């Protein structure tokens, strides 16, 4: 492998972290707008809800500490989904060519993975949104946008 190939396949962590932060903020804004509200109690509940995946229902008795854990988990997961796309795209460079063409379906994959793999394996279990088809539609659309953000920042992380 030449030096230029090595440089082109190395990851720049700044864009990965920024992309993860933007996905996390976007998802937070989406959830706050649709379900929790923007006041202090709503935001506390939002992040406690994320911490349920680790703490179970006790998360809601955990106050600010549970919410901080939920916030950290949220940013970690969002950054991980940008990193995963970048790692796959590093091997399959064509995935970096179409931000919309690959970002939109990646977002659908993210929605499916979160709702049918991650949440059921955590202490959350089945998503309550499955009882509301309108929530599902909005969630899929939001995740499609998050997928586009992942592709944009994976491209930047791979210095392309």
What does the alpha-carbon distance between residue 46 and residue 31 come to, in Å, rounded to a whole number? Answer: 7
Length of the chain: 160
- Token couple for 110: 């993210």
Q: Give the separation between CA 62 and CA 52, rounded to whole angstroms.
A: 10
pLDDT score for 9: 67
Compute the distance between CA of residue 49 and CA of residue 45 in angstroms, rounded to an integer.
6
Q: What is residue 134's predicted lDDT score, i.e. its pLDDT?
A: 87
First CA to last CA distance, the chain: 18
Predicted local confidence at residue 120, as pLDDT: 86
What DSSP string describes 108-135? HHHHHHIIIIIHHHSSS-S-GGGG-HHH
The H or E element containing residue 25 is: helix 13-31
Q: Report pTM.
A: 0.88
CA distance 112 to 134: 16
Q: Which residues, given as ranges, of the chain have pLDDT below 50? A: 1-7
Residues 6+ apart with CB under 8 A from 39: none
């Amino acid at each position: 492998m030449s030096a230029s190939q090595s440089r082109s396949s190395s990851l720049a962590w700044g864009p990965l972290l920024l992309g993860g932060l933007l996905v996390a903020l976007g998802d937070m804004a989406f959830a706050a707008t649709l379900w929790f509200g923007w006041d202090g109690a709503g935001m506390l509940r939002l992040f406690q809800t994320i911490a349920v995946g680790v703490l179970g229902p006790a998360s809601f008795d955990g106050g600010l500490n549970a919410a901080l854990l939920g916030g950290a988990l949220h940013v970690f997961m969002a950054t991980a989904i940008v990193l995963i796309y970048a790692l796959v795209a590093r091997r399959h460079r064509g995935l970096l060519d179409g931000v919309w063409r690959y970002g939109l379906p990646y977002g659908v994959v993210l929605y499916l993975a979160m709702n049918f793999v991650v949440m059921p394996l955590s202490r959350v279990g089945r998503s309550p949104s499955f009882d509301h088809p309108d929530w599902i539609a909005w969630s899929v659309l939001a995740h499609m946008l998050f997928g586009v953000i992942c592709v944009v920042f994976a491209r930047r992380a791979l210095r392309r």
